[in-house]
Homo-oligomer: A and B are copies of this chain.
Amino acid sequence: MARSVGSDGKITAAEIRKNCLVLFARNGYAAVSMRQIAQSVGVQASAIYQYFENKQQILVDLLQTHMEKLLEAWDAEMCRESAPKALERFIRFHIRYHIKKPDEVFVSYMELRSLEPEGFKTIESLRRKYEQILKSILEEGAADGSLNVDDPHVAAMAILSMLTGVNTWYRSGGRLSQDRIEDIYAAMVLRSQGVMVSSENNEELAHV
């Protein structure tokens, strides 16, 4: 899917993407005008149409790129291992990845309703793929008894909400290091699925 027409001029599609991410995150897609976008990269509004068909395509591009990169990053991270280990790996991966991309995450979760039907379908499909990764780990743990999962679908949705919620309060340079935040969330989620974790160092001890 061609998402831009390509360019070698001084403003680039990449620059527009970067600035739109910030503008959409701060003000919301509907509240940001093409003139604002253009001004942020130092051109007139009409120049934007050299790079994107219209405003909607910028949004689709941002969300699609975010989800595709997220899925690729997990592909590079995943291992064959026990369900509890895989769950911990997923938790730490999700927090580490999302905490570094606050604008991408914010826009991806807030602007789903700003997508027109075609784009919505594309993004929803990618989101379901990501949800399925966690759901499969939980299902495997439920099947072999290594996790205590009441309902894999509900648990997957609940865990994803909890993990992604980090972005609502985390501010770089705050009281807690990113590693410490990973530890705290890993301990809470693992315990919620029946894995016993000590409270001192969050080391996995045993499971029910």
Query: Which of A42-50, A51-59, A65-73, A186-194 is the contact stretch?
Result: A186-194
Chain B residues with CB under 8 A of A187: 150
Of B28, B148, B199, the residue contacting A28 (CB under 8 A) is B28
What is the interface of chain A mostly: helix, strand, loop, or mixed?
Answer: helix
- Does B169 lie within 8 Å of A165, measured CB to CB? no
Asked if A184 is at the interface (CB within 8 A of a chain B CB), the reply is yes
Asked if A114 is at the interface (CB within 8 A of a chain B CB), the reply is yes
Chain B residues with CB under 8 A of A159: 162
With contacts A31-B30, A31-B114, A192-B191 taken as known, whether A154 is within 8 angstroms of B184 at the C-beta atoms is: yes
- Does B28 lie within 8 Å of A113, measured CB to CB? yes
Chain B residues with CB under 8 A of A166: 157-158, 161
Asked if A110 is at the interface (CB within 8 A of a chain B CB), the reply is yes
How far, in whole Å, are A145 and B188 apart by their CA atoms in the complex?
16
Chain B residues with CB under 8 A of A158: 162, 165-166, 184-185, 188
Number of copies: 2
Interface residues of A (CB under 8 A from B): 26-31, 110, 113-114, 148, 150-151, 154-155, 157-162, 164-166, 168-169, 176, 181, 183-185, 187-189, 191-194, 199, 202
**17 A-B contacts, Cβ less than 8 Å apart?**
A27-B113, A28-B29, A150-B187, A150-B199, A150-B202, A154-B181, A154-B185, A155-B184, A157-B166, A157-B168, A157-B169, A158-B166, A158-B184, A161-B166, A162-B165, A191-B192, A192-B192
- Does A188 lie within 8 Å of B192, measured CB to CB? yes
Q: Nearest Cβ in chain B — how far from A97, in angstroms?
A: 17
- Does B114 lie within 8 Å of A28, measured CB to CB? yes
With contacts A114-B31, A148-B199 taken as known, whether A165 is within 8 angstroms of B154 at the C-beta atoms is: no
Chain B residues with CB under 8 A of A113: 26-28
Closest to A155 in B: B188
Q: Nearest Cβ in chain B — how far from A195, in angstroms?
A: 9
- Does B191 lie within 8 Å of A194, measured CB to CB? yes
